[in-house]
Copies of this chain bind each other. A is one copy, B any other.
Amino acid sequence: MAERLTIALDAMGGDNAPRAVVRGANIARKRFPNVDFLLVGDEAKLVPMLKRLPKLRKITTIVHAPDKVGAEDKAAQALRASRSSSMRIAIDQVRDGKAQGVVSAGNTGALMAMAKVFLRTLPGIDRPAMASFFPTMKGESVMLDLGANIECTAENLVQFAVMGELFARMVLGSLKPTVGLLNVGSEEQKGHEELRQAAAMLREGRHPIQFHGFIEGDDIAKGTVDVVVADGFSGNVALKTAEGTARLIADFLRQTFKSSILAMIGYVFCRYALRKLRLRLDPRRYNGAVFLGVNGIVVKSHGGTDALGFATAIGVAVDMVQYGFIASMKREFEKSTGTPLIPEVEEPKQAATG
């Protein structure tokens, strides 16, 4: 039997909190019977919700947090005022070893800032990156950074490549994942200086990863590589452009099926097959961006998601815990950089919390 593990949930983060979080936990409970939850948020709201879900209640402990981070709060401000927020207290559960991972649908910038300050980054990593997976013609791939780092050095990109490769190996189960750098052409002389430097470093082979070279935007959906590495600006643009395009085509399709009597009849026949397609492309199936490089498992759920999407994000955290992701990352970077291991959890030194 699988060991029991605990995931902390920021109950107050996201557009549909705390409802989507509590219901999401209830869905995840059935998928992962070995998981307990720490539900961090406003006790007055959470207690009555749990009362109606006795099975969830049995495996859940409420940790009271009087405040929450607003969706529009700036990261620095949220960080300063964080002490009593549900997001911060949820992260503290991981720092203090009371939970093995944390999931929040709250403010991305604040979550990243708190994760960096209170969990610290792993040795050998200068900046954590946001990673997520998405469907391709060949299956699934991972992309990072999705927006945590607007400006990136060549070293940052190389670290992203190594982290992304490990993530693909552990969570997607790719045996020998290939890694590509997102650029505007595949020729060596293309793109920003940092990209060319990063490519040179990856070709050098200090890290034992399968470096494919440069890829272009259309390679993302083709599944040309298992891991797409980009600076946070380009990665964010690519991710959101892909989402927007998918919605546009879905919209056009809906119009198409309503455009004539024949098409409507056809739709009735295809309905079952189309539902499967919709399921395959359902963004809730791909919900849950991971902050790679922080010393703890932090998963960011889309702010607008529902219970089903939140359950997926919980699943990502559970996977990473079960695969021992943090320990593997430490080994990986210790091997390649020679940096010694540091203790799993370190008390942060009052950083920016005054």
Footprint of B on A, CB under 8 Å?
A: 72, 74, 135-137, 147, 150-151, 182, 184, 187, 189, 191-192, 216-222, 230, 232-234, 236-253, 256-257, 259-260, 262-263, 265-274, 276-277, 280-281
Contacts and interface: CB of A to CB of B under 8 A. Distances in A.
Nearest to A217: B240
B221 A241 contact: yes
Main secondary structure of the interface of A (DSSP, over half): helix
A147 B184 contact: yes
A236 B281 CA distance: 24
A245 B267 contact: no
A272 B189 CA distance: 46
Nearest to A109: B185
Nearest to A278: B256
A289 to B, nearest CB: 14
B248 A221 contact: yes
A265 B245 CA distance: 28
A251 B222 CA distance: 10
Which of A147, A220, A239, A244 has the most C-beta atoms of chain B within 10 angstroms of its own C-beta? A244
Given A238-B237, A262-B272, A276-B259, A151 B218 contact: no
Contacts of A187: 72
B236 A256 contact: no
